[in-house]
Amino acid sequence: MAIVIGIDVGTQSTKTIFYDTEAKTIVASAQAPHELTARDDGSREQEATWWLDAIIACFRRIPTEVREAATAIGVSGQQHGFVPVDAKGEVLYPVKLWNDTSTALECGELTKMLGGSSVLLAEEGNLILPGYTASKILWFKKNHPDLYARMAKILLPHDYVNFFLTGAYTMEYGDASGTALLDIRTRKWSKRILEAIDPDRDLSDTLPQLIGAHECAGRVSTKAAHLLGIPEVIFVSSGGGDNMMGAIGTGTVHDGTLTMSLGTSGTIYGASNKPIVDPQGLLAAFCSSTGNWLPLLCTMNCTVASEVTRALFNKGVKEFDATAMKAPIGSNGVVMLPYFNGERTPNYPRGKGCLMGFGLETMNEANISRAAMESSIFGLKLGLESFQNLGYSPKEIRLIGGGSKSLVWRQMVADICDLPVVVPKITEAAALGGALQAYWGLLHSQGSGLGIGEIVADHVSLDEGSACLPIPANVSQYRTAYRTYASYVAVVEPIFA
């Protein structure tokens, strides 16, 4: 066996795969859940130790002989989380996550200080939005000055796991671009943003060394090897954010391919060999974890809409889908705005879930259920339109996340987006991406010139039996329904923005 490990530290759980690069298959895997602390002010937090506990629990479920055969590790982590550590590497405060909207005030303050949204897009390429790391740093400084004074390093979730594995502090460009601290065109930290956060302290000293996607973050330490039951000093790759790793795991490393993820959050992203900055600010201008760029749209609420609706009506998944399909496309004019966690795109940090458009005959379970499903994809269609408006010509959508397992969801995505949809055979895309990046980095360290594109072509395959083509009659009806949805999105802006 030639085993590489992929670790995906998500919001709800940690997933670990052991991938055999010779057999091109996952030989073992495990998953462990996380808790989440939520408060009415928009706070969404986790303890960093919960991730380590989950990783250790996962590894203990893997057969000893498989663990001992490991040669490299790549880590995927939920983006944007703020992990402040002291000089000893101890975490100073619960991690404020990607879906934390409690720092909306700080986003406004920084944006104003830095000249407004148009200047941020022109200078650095990204806005400063709730969820991104930059505003969390300012919030921490204002609300916990004593702890802030002790802060020695600013890490992201995957950086913290790499630190646990190696004892070294590093950060790679893909995940770094999601902090809103990086100039994505030059791939350098923005001095003016750092000074806006703290004019009295050089925050660049607290940021880890930036390394390339193929580079080594460090070697597994004796302590981590003992805890996980794996060999010491094996290669740990740069790793990256979950979307960046998901791009590798779905083969989205060349122009023209789009990946859509239907999970708690919804994302749609595409590979690009040049920076793509959306003048409307809807697409995030991220770097990739392959050395290129990864323009991306993220909604904070995706399958959460159908999950809370399913719970409301006490339905199982298949029963819920069947009920939803009793309503016609467009749900008889019933519209859900699924802003249960606030929202990032559109930028509605004070957003709440809404149901609109009821008539006396249309307020029923089927319409509400279908509206919940449709809203998840309508929110992502906004990103597809942004890609197309910027000249990106997608050929297909590669679908991942919980929703990808359902034929109903797949056909809905194909019809709403008017593009073919297909699911990768290995659906744990972020964990696979971590493993493949680790394999690429390991080979590079051994003198190989094999590129990530070649590795992806050899190891990422699609389940052709899952493919769905858009149905023209449905496409037309969804266009009308989407216009109705978009009109309601515009109406609530004064309330939620």
Q: Is 242 a catalytic residue?
A: yes
The DSSP H or E segment spanning 219 is strand 216-219
Write the DSSP string, 279-327. TTS-SEEEE-SSSSEEEEEEES-SHHHHHHHHHHTT--HHHHHHHHTTS
Q: Provide the Cα torsion 317, 361, 352, 328; round to 10°.
A: 50
Report the distance separating Cα 24 and Cα 9, nearest Å. Answer: 23
Whether a cis peptide bond, with omega within 30° of 0, leads into 346 is yes
The secondary structure of residue 203, as a DSSP letter, is: G
- What backbone torsions phi and psi does residue 436 show, to the nearest 5 degrees? -70, -35
Catalytic member of 242, 278, 321, 415: 242
Distance from the Cα of residue 243 to its chain's centroid: 4
Burial 61-83 (b: 16+ CB within 10 A, else e): ebeeebbebbbbbbbbbbbbbbb
The DSSP H or E segment spanning 350 is none
Structure tokens at 409: 């969801």
Which residue stretches of 333-491 are H helix?
A: 365-389, 407-417, 429-445, 452-459, 472-491
Which residue stretches of 124-251 are H helix?
A: 133-143, 145-150, 157-166, 173-177, 191-197, 222-228, 242-250
Distance from the Cα of residue 264 to its chain's centroid: 10
Report the distance separating Cα 210 and Cα 159, nearest Å. Answer: 11
Asked whether the CA dihedral 180, 184, 186, 188 is positive or negative, the reply is: positive
Q: Which residues pair with 445 in a beta bridge?
A: none
Structure tokens at 263: 């999970």
Q: Are 428 and 29 in contact (CB under 8 A)?
A: yes
C-alpha separations of 31 from 36, 56, 297, 423 in Å: 16, 10, 27, 21
Report the distance separating Cα 96 and Cα 493, nearest Å. Answer: 25
Among 432, 425, 423, 422, smallest CA distance to 455 is for: 432
Which residues are marked as active site? Answer: 242
